[in-house]
Amino acid sequence: MRGLSIGRRLSSAAVALSMVLAAGRPIPARAQTEQAPTFRAATADTATSKGGVAAAVARGDYLARAADCMPCHTGPGQPAFSGGLPIHTGFGVIVSPNITPAARTGIGQWTDEQFYRVVHDGVGPHGKLIYPAMPFTSYTQMTRQDVSDIKAYLFSLKPVTAHRDVNRLAFPFNIRASLIGWRLMFFQPGTYRDDPHRSAVWNRGAYLVLGAGHCGECHTPRNGLGAMLLGRSLSGGVVEGYYAPNISTDPDAGLGARTVDQVKQFLHTGAEPHLGVAFGPMAAVVQYSTRYLTDGDLTAIATYLLNAAKRPDYTVPVPIKPAQSAAGQALFQTNCAGCHQPSGQGVPGAIPNLAGNAAVVATQPDSVIAAMVNGLPGMGTYIAMPSFAATLSDQKIADIANYVRTSWGNRGSANATPELAGRIGAIAKRNATAQGPGAGAPPLN
Ligand code: HEC
Ligand code: HEC
Ligand code: HEC
C-alpha cells in the first residue's frame, strides 16, 4: 500500500465537525521484542472451552482479518499490531496503540473482560472512554466469543515493546470526558441479533457488514458530530477525500443492479468490470481484509448487500452546468486517454474502464478527483496511475472529472468543482509522506 495515501476513516471522528482522517508521517522505528507476560495463559483458559487454544487462535486470526484490525494498529515500518499509526482527525491526531501482548506497553496484562469492553463497548480499563477512531461503534455488534477469539489470536503473537505516542488532540477533545455526551447521543452498545425472517446466510452477511467488517464506517453518511446516520446505513459517505459510494440495494446509486457473483469478485480480487478496480481506502480493505474471506462469507456479504434496504444517496447532488465540457474532453485526451483509451474502455486486466464504472458515476465526484490528485499505486495486474496534482490546476481537474462522469453513456452528475478539487488537494498534501494503514507491515499471507 506504499504511496496509497493515508490513514483511515471518518469513523474516527468523535466530536468534531470536520473529520477527515489520514495517516500521518512515518515515525522513527522504536519497536523491540519484550518478554512474554506469564498470564498469557489466562486467555487460553477461556478459549479452551471452545475447542482448544489452537482452534481459538485460528478463528481469531480469521476474524481479525474480517475486522481489519491490523492496518490501523500498525505504524509505518512497524511490526504488525504494534501501534503507532497517527490518525488525523478534524480535531487533532490520535495515535493507535500497541495491541501486541507486551506486558507494559501492549495489552499483555488485559483480561478477557477488559478486552471485550474496549472492542465491544469502547470503554477501556478504569472506565477510560475510547475515541470512535476505533470503530467500536460497529464492533459492538460482534459476539463475545468472536471478540475473545481475536484476543486469543493477538495473545499468540510475539509481544512487541512499543510505547504509544501521546495524542495531540485540541481542547476540548483531549478530554475524554467530552465523549460522555457523544456516547449518550449516538452510541448504543448491543450484539447483532439474527432477524428470524431472514436466512442464515443473510444474517451472517449482516453480521459481517454491520459488525466485524464495519463497512458502514466509510459507506454510511455522518452527522455534524461525526456519528453514523444509521437510518441511512450504507447509502454513501466521504472518507479521506474519497467517496465511498452507496452500497445499499438502491438500483440507481447503489448495488441494486449487481449480482452476488459480481460483488464477490470485487471483494475477493479487487476488480470487477462494473465496479472497477478497488482504489483509495477500498484498496486497503480488499488487500488486508476481504480477499482473505471464505467463499461462504463473501456470499453472505453479497447476499446481505443485495437484499437489504434500498436507500437513495443522502446528499442529492446539485449538477453544475458542464459549461467547460469541451475543455474537459481535450484535457482527457491529452492526459488520460493514452491509458484509459479515448472511449474510456481501459485495457482489460491492466487499466480499468472509466465507462460504465460505478465508482466513476457515484453520486459524489470525490473519488474521481482523488484518483487524479493522489495517483494510485497499482494492484495485482493493474499498473500504477500517476498523480496529476502538480500538472493540472483545480479547475482542470474538475473539468476532467465532469467530462469523465458524463461521457460514453456515463450518467453521473457534472458536479465536480475547483473548490472540491482544492480541498481534496489539501488532504493529499497533508498526507504527502504518509504511507497508509499497514504500510511496512509484513504481508499477512
Ligand atoms: C479505523 C482504525 C482502527 C481499527 C480498524 C481498529 N482499531 Fe483499535 N484502536 C484504534 C485507535 C485510534 C485506538 C485508540 C483510541 C483512543 O485512544 O481512544 C484504538 C484502541 C484499541 C484498543 C485499546 C488499547 C489501549 O491500549 O488503550 C484495543 C484493545 C483495540 N483498539 C483493539 C482493536 C481490535 C481487536 C480491532 C479489530 C477487531 C481494532 N482495534 C480495529 C483504531 C482502530
Ligand atoms: C476505509 C473505508 C472503507 C471501508 C471500511 C469499506 N469501504 Fe468499500 N469503498 C470505499 C471507497 C472509498 C470506495 C470507492 C473506491 C472504489 O470503488 O474502490 C469503496 C467502494 C466499494 C465498492 C464498489 C462500489 C462502487 O459503486 O464502486 C463496494 C462493493 C464496496 N466498497 C464494498 C465494501 C464492503 C462490503 C465493505 C465492508 C466489508 C467495505 N466496502 C468497507 C471505502 C471503504
Ligand atoms: C499511466 C496510465 C494512466 C493514466 C495516464 C491515467 N490513469 Fe487512471 N488509472 C490507471 C490505472 C492502472 C488505474 C487502476 C490503478 C489502481 O487501482 O491502483 C487507474 C484508475 C483510475 C480511476 C479509478 C477507477 C477504478 O475503478 O479503479 C479513475 C477515476 C481514473 N483512473 C481516472 C483517470 C483520469 C481522469 C486520468 C487523467 C487525468 C487518468 N486516470 C490517467 C492508469 C492511468
Question: What is the tens place of the pLDDT at every residue in 173-229?
Answer: 677 777 888 898 899 999 999 999 999 999 999 999 999 999 999 999 988 788 899
Q: Where are the beta strands (DSSP E) in 187-290?
A: 237-239, 242-244, 271-272, 276-277
Q: Check if 9 has its Cβ closer than 6 Å to any atom of ligand 1.
A: yes
In 10 A of CB 39, how many CB atoms?
Answer: 16
Q: Whose CA is nearest to atom 42 of ligand 1?
A: 134
Residues with CB under 6 A from ligand 2: 8-9, 209, 213-215, 217-219, 239, 242, 244-245, 247, 263, 266-267, 275-276, 278-282, 285, 290, 301, 358-359, 362, 367
CB 424 within 8 A of CB 410: no
Q: Whose CA is nearest to atom 15 of ligand 3?
A: 378
Considering every ligand atom shown, identify the ligand nearest to the alpha carbon of residue 65 and give its number. 1
Distance 109 CA to ligand 3 centre (A): 47
CB 130 within 8 A of CB 122: yes
| Cis before 159? omega within 30 | no
Q: How far apart are the first and last CA of the chain?
A: 15
The grid coordinates listed for 195 are 432477524
Distance 66 CA to ligand 1 centre (A): 15
- Calculate ∠ Cα 367-370-371, nearest 5°: 85
CB 304 within 8 A of CB 350: no
Considering every ligand atom shown, identify the ligand nearest to the alpha carbon of residue 155 and give its number. 1
Considering every ligand atom shown, identify the ligand nearest to the alpha carbon of residue 283 and give its number. 2
Residues in the chain, overall count: 445
Q: What ligand 2 atom has the least distance to the C-alpha of 281?
A: 1
Residue 158: name the closest of 68, 78, 65, 72 by CA.
78
Distance 336 CA to ligand 2 centre (A): 24
Distance 7 CA to ligand 1 centre (A): 13
Q: Which of 242, 331, 336, 343 to mutate to test the pocket of ligand 3 (most atoms within 8 A of CB)?
A: 336
Considering every ligand atom shown, identify the ligand nearest to the alpha carbon of residue 267 and give its number. 2
Q: Pairing state of beta strands 168-169 and 160-161?
A: unpaired
Distance 97 CA to ligand 1 centre (A): 7
Q: Check if 130 has its Cβ closer than 6 Å to any atom of ligand 1.
A: yes
* pLDDT tens-place string over residues 334-382: 999 999 999 999 999 999 999 999 999 999 999 999 999 999 998 889 9
- Give the model's pLDDT for residue 230: 87
- Give the model's pLDDT for residue 298: 98
Distance 197 CA to ligand 2 centre (A): 27
Q: Check if 66 has its Cβ closer than 6 Å to any atom of ligand 3.
A: no
| Cα distance between residue 67 and residue 138, in whole Å | 10
Residue ranges of the chain whose pLDDT lies below 70? 1-50, 89-91, 165-173, 314-325, 432-445
Q: Check if 99 has its Cβ closer than 6 Å to any atom of ligand 1.
A: yes
Distance 234 CA to ligand 2 centre (A): 10
| Cα distance between residue 222 and residue 115, in whole Å | 27
- Which pairs count as long-range contacts for 108-114, CB under 8 Å and 24+ apart, including other chains? 108/36, 108/37, 108/39, 108/40, 108/155, 108/159, 109/37, 109/39, 110/151, 111/42, 112/42, 112/43, 112/46, 112/148, 112/151
The pTM assigned to this predicted structure is 0.86
Q: Whose CA is nearest to atom 31 of ligand 1?
A: 134
Q: Whose CA is nearest to atom 1 of ligand 3?
A: 385
Distance 122 CA to ligand 2 centre (A): 24
Q: Whose CA is nearest to atom 35 of ligand 1?
A: 69
- Give the model's pLDDT for residue 42: 38
Residue 141: name the closest of 204, 221, 73, 97 by CA.
204
CB 369 within 8 A of CB 401: yes
Q: Whose CA is nearest to atom 16 of ligand 2?
A: 278
Phi-psi region of 16 (alpha: psi -120 to 50; beta: other; left: phi over 0): beta
Phi-psi region of 443 (alpha: psi -120 to 50; beta: other; left: phi over 0): beta
CA–centroid distance for 68 within its chain? 9
Q: Whose CA is nearest to atom 41 of ligand 3?
A: 336
